[in-house]
Structure 1
Amino acid sequence: MNKLLLIAALVSAGAAQAGTIVDTGTPSGVGGYLLESNDSYAGQITLGASLDITDIAAHVLGGNAGETFTISVYTNSANNLPSSNALYGASATFGSDGWNGVSGKSWHLDAGTYWVAVEVGNADTLTPFATLDYAAPKPLAVTAFNAGSGYRTSPLSFGLQISAVPEPATYLLMLGGLAALGLGSRRRG
């Protein structure tokens, strides 16, 4: 019977599932920060364990379907701002007003502090009247803005959602713990 319980627990653990690690909630939809050429808005996140970022979305309004902007991840610099070089970056395509971003990524991040940025670079096509929607109900505590001359901290409240899966070592540790529980219950029985 104990073997059956252990097998059921291992099977139910299953494959790694993406989970939301940041969700500021849906902003008000009444206005926002202009997303013009060379503008960047970043939010700081701190990870307690290694994981792989799979999806990042920002709440963007006023673009035209098919236009692009960039989602990037930066390390934290010594002055608590995004570093000068992105660890990861990908082009995001605007679909319609609301959540737009990148998905299906496997951006590995170790435990630590990072910045997730919504950017409009020279190669992006997002209309100059598009906005990063503001008044998110649960804004990030630390944010920054860059108008082309470097990041500066600024109290911003934009919509951001980030999903990730734990790295495989986390699951191995969990499975090891389940195995130890199974062995412990077997010895008692």
Structure 2
Amino acid sequence: MNPSFLHRLGLLACVLLISASQANATSYTFTELIPLGGTNSYAYAINNAGQVAGFSSTAGNVVTHATLWNGTTATDLSTRGASNVYATAINTAGQVVGYSSTPGNTTFHATLWNGGPEGTDLGTLGGTNSYAYAINNAGQIAGVSSTAGNTTFHATLWNGTTATDLSPLGGIYSYAYAINNAGQVAGSASTAKNTALHATLWNGTTATDLGTLGGTNSFAYAINDAGQMAGVSFTAGNAARHATLWNGTTATDLGTLGGTTSVAYAINNTGQIVGVSSTAKNTALRATLWNGTTAIDLNNFLSASEVSAGWVLQQARGINDSGSIVGYDYNTKTRAQEAFLLSVSAVPEPATYATLLGGLALIGAMVRRRKSL
């Protein structure tokens, strides 16, 4: 058979495969999530229904209120008597958690919202402050609370308004930042003599040290239903801080966008991770997506018109199971910092595969015809 003919067939097959890959590459639609009358907003979590939780400034930028976005409609989740209120997480039922200032604005208490304003105070472990950072689909809530006498902070698990103390790793401090639907809690805890803070997994009240990337400290900020955890760890010699993925106690360095710093804030059930990374020479911070250990600057998905309008995606804080991402950006022209939503706008189409299979079938027929000649 003529070698040049085979070469041309090989090129045709490559073209078909590349075309299929490009047709199925994920793309995103960028949406600004407008504040509650002020100039700033921050999105921290998105559920599988596309509801977004975060916080934003009110008119005059005097106070900050927890905010729930349904599409581009913002709902004020204010709490009676509280000046400043923050939402940090949302589950599939639309329950939102965060924390609210108490009357007099001297302390904060962990707060639960069940679909509307006027949240429920979750109380503390005996101290004056508490903060809720995560909620699973069963309504279990993870966060942190000061203990009696305000001598320390401990990771806390709330079932309703009943708070359970999650112990440290031999030290006196612990912090819970995430909870999955199996009730596993991820966070950070101090080691013996409080010489370091290590990423920690709690199964019930049993704490497991997840270790580091060779440095002193590490923090787990997210956990999915498979038990994979994402966060940040110092590298050997504490030379850098890198986004980290833990499978059990095995830590994987996720790398950066060229700089020395990256942090992973969220992981979905398909293993996609989002966070922030510094660029080469640490000149800027950019919202980042990790597929495996490949770091992708989310600004690459903005259109030319969005870039020219001044939008820069700074931090990605949440991702749902369909891959939609939320966080906050900065506008270089208006100087405003606003919440953003990157919703997945392209999915694989059956027609793409039909074209590919048809093309490969044609190649096979051409080969058979050449052999018969």
| TM-score > 0.5 by shorter chain | no
TM range (shorter): 0.3 to 0.5
TM (norm. structure 1) is 0.35
Which structure is higher in RCO with an 8 Å CA cutoff and minimum separation 6?
1
Whichever of the two has the greater Rg, that structure is 2
